Amino acid sequence: MAQEGATLAVDTSNLISSLFALLPVPVAVIDEQGNIVLANSIFNDFFPKTTSVNQIPHHAVPVDGLVFDFDKVPLSDQGLYIFIGRDTTGEEQLRQKLVQMEKMGAIGRLVSGVAHELNNPLAGIVGYAQLLSRADLDPSTSRMVSVLQTQAERAGSIVQNFLNLATKTQPEKKSFDLNSVVDNVLSLREYDHKVHDIVAILELDHDLPQVTGDLGQIEQVVLNLVVNAEDAVLMTQGRTGEIEIRTAVLNDRVRLEVTDNGNGIQRQDMDRIFDPFFTTKDKTTSSGGIGLGLNICAEIVKDHGGELYAWSTYGSGSTFTMELPVAVNIDDSEPETVAPSFGESLSGKSIMVIDDEVTITELIDDYLGRFGAKVEFFHSGAEAFERLCTTSYDAVVCDQRMPGVNGQSLYRMVESVNPDLARRFIFVTGDVLNERTRQFFEQTGAIYLRKPFRLEDLLHSVQTVVGFEDSGSSTEI
């Protein structure tokens, strides 16, 4: 019986040793000073030549793509302890995602505020450029005014794209030619290519079918891919920077490839290049980014039913590929826009304009006055309400976001005392349309325009309200 007991003790000891060695987490036996007495194979693989756990952090320790937290548990009354790792990779990834979500939420709020501040001056620039374009100008000045208006509208489109991403709005879909987008982007980058000695090589399929999507958003994706390629070739030494842009159609998908001969992307970074806030750019240079460009591009392409992906050979360059569905049958025909002739179409009509931006009120006063309207403007909702309580107007053009009494509040105040006048409101907004604002416009059926707006759209809105017919739904011009 004694022999059996000894055999059992030996077997138990061997079993414990085997279990200790085979544990799927790093484990060590340590003394009171933290010196390692015994460690299993995983611990030795993770921390080779480590003699004391005092050299190892106890929280969020990254090892071979995993993350561990370590605990110290008493083992015996001889001063020995178990130092055991707990795999917290999933928890750490979740924590990082939550942090990123907080960052993205903060950026969304920041973008909303910045967009409002940018769209107000852009509305003034676009509006006065439109007025200038109708003046009797010499060809050179007319061309400069046209460029000014086009670039201001493009800036407004960029701001709107960021707002669309912040609110996950559906893109405005229409059919367009991707080759034309490439040509437009390269015309914008032509000067930089000359300055930095970058060669752009085009291989465009001239029988390329049209694609369906938001033209402004896709142009921003192409521009971002080209700028990223520029940054990549600028970091190379000893060779001329080359960017190849190819378009083709494959299996009912239109494909765009942007290839550079830069240094490429390291293998361990490839899975992260579309993650928010991840960047391979040198942040000490002027071109260093914050890691949002490709993430935003991927979201845009995904919203269009497409795909954005990349491959790279480190030391030889990278290729980014965008695939989009071939255009479906969409009725995207637009009537030819003809600037209305100045006249007396609003003669005798009284218009109130409310906006805290003096430039906007003066622009609207100038423009509508050319059609015979009598315009009275205010720069605060409170002052405007006092006047609206005693005076009736044929239309009220009101900014959505103002200090103090904002557009929605003013509308509700007017509605309570004069419902008919409230129905003549036209809202202009340079801000993001959040869910609360969308519900407000849907409930009231009010017309609204996004800044920067076209003056022709403003005139059309005023003419619609002056000859008001209840449509029962909100209208964005």
pLDDT tens by residue, 321-348: 999 999 876 555 554 555 565 656 788 8
Q: The whole model's pTM is what?
A: 0.54
Residues 6 or more apart in contact with residue 261 via CB below 8 angstroms: 233, 236, 239, 241, 242, 316, 317
Q: Provide the pLDDT confidence category of residue 471 given band limits of 50, 70 and 90.
A: very low
Three-state secondary structure call for residue 422: helix
Q: Are 247 and 220 members of one domain?
A: yes
Residue 414 lies inside a defined structural domain of this protein: yes
Residue 100 lies inside a defined structural domain of this protein: no
Q: Are 323 and 382 members of one domain?
A: no
For residue 173, count other CB atoms closer than 10 A to its CB: 17
Q: Are 285 and 362 members of one domain?
A: no
CA angle, residues 49, 53, 56, in degrees to nearest 5: 85
Q: How far out from the chain centre does Cα 133 lie?
A: 32
Question: Does pLDDT of 388 surpass 90?
Answer: yes
Residue 295 lies inside a defined structural domain of this protein: yes
Q: Are 299 and 383 members of one domain?
A: no
Q: Greatest CA span in the chain, whole angstroms? A: 118
Question: Does pLDDT of 63 surpass 80?
Answer: yes
Residue 276 lies inside a defined structural domain of this protein: yes
Boundary-marking domain end, from 299, 331, 363: 331
Measured CA to CA, the distance from residue 364 to residue 362 in angstroms comes to: 6
- Average pLDDT of every residue of the chain: 82
Range of 257's domain? 174-331
Boundary-marking domain end, from 87, 112, 137: 87
Q: Are 266 and 358 members of one domain?
A: no
Question: Could you tell me how many helices (H) and strands (E) the chain has, helices first?
Answer: 14, 18
CA-atom Rg of the chain in angstroms: 32
Residues 6 or more apart in contact with residue 150 via CB below 8 angstroms: none
The pLDDT assigned to 270 comes to 78
HSE, CB side, 13 Å, CA atoms: give it for residue 376: 15
Q: Are 271 and 406 members of one domain?
A: no
438 vs 279, residue with greater confidence: 438
Measured CA to CA, the distance from residue 49 to residue 420 in angstroms comes to: 83
Whichever domain contains 302, its CATH number is: 3.30.565.10
Residue 151 lies inside a defined structural domain of this protein: no
The pLDDT assigned to 161 comes to 61
pLDDT in tens, 280-315: 665 444 344 434 578 888 888 998 899 999 998 888
Measured CA to CA, the distance from residue 413 to residue 407 in angstroms comes to: 10
Torsion of the alpha carbons at 140, 181, 218 and 148, rounded to the nearest 10 = 0
Question: Does pLDDT of 154 surpass 90?
Answer: no
Three-state secondary structure call for residue 237: coil
Boundary-marking domain end, from 48, 67, 87: 87
Instruction: State the amino acid at position 268 in one-letter form.
Output: Q
Place of tokens 């059996």: 4
For the chain, the helix, strand and coil percentages under 3-state DSSP, each to the nearest 5? 45, 20, 35
Place of tokens 């509305």: 123
Q: Are 187 and 80 members of one domain?
A: no
The pLDDT assigned to 325 comes to 92
One DSSP character per residue, 279-338 reads: --S-TTSTT---S-HHHHHHHHHHHTT-EEEEEEETTTEEEEEEEEEBP-------PPP-
Contact 395, 351 (CB under 8 A): yes
Q: Are 178 and 259 members of one domain?
A: yes
Q: Are 263 and 180 members of one domain?
A: yes
Q: Are 321 and 445 members of one domain?
A: no
Residue 161 lies inside a defined structural domain of this protein: no
Structural domain total, the chain: 3
Q: Are 267 and 327 members of one domain?
A: yes
Question: Does pLDDT of 472 surpass 50?
Answer: no
89-133 and 139-167 helices cross at what angle (nearest 10)? 150
Q: Are 194 and 326 members of one domain?
A: yes
Measured CA to CA, the distance from residue 21 to residue 266 in angstroms comes to: 35
Q: Provide the pLDDT confidence category of residue 5 given band limits of 50, 70 and 90.
A: very low
Residue 128 lies inside a defined structural domain of this protein: no
Residue 159 lies inside a defined structural domain of this protein: no
Q: How far out from the chain centre does Cα 62 lie?
A: 31
Instruction: Determine which helix (DSSP H) or strand (DSSP E) holds 242, and give its type and residue range.
Output: strand 241-250
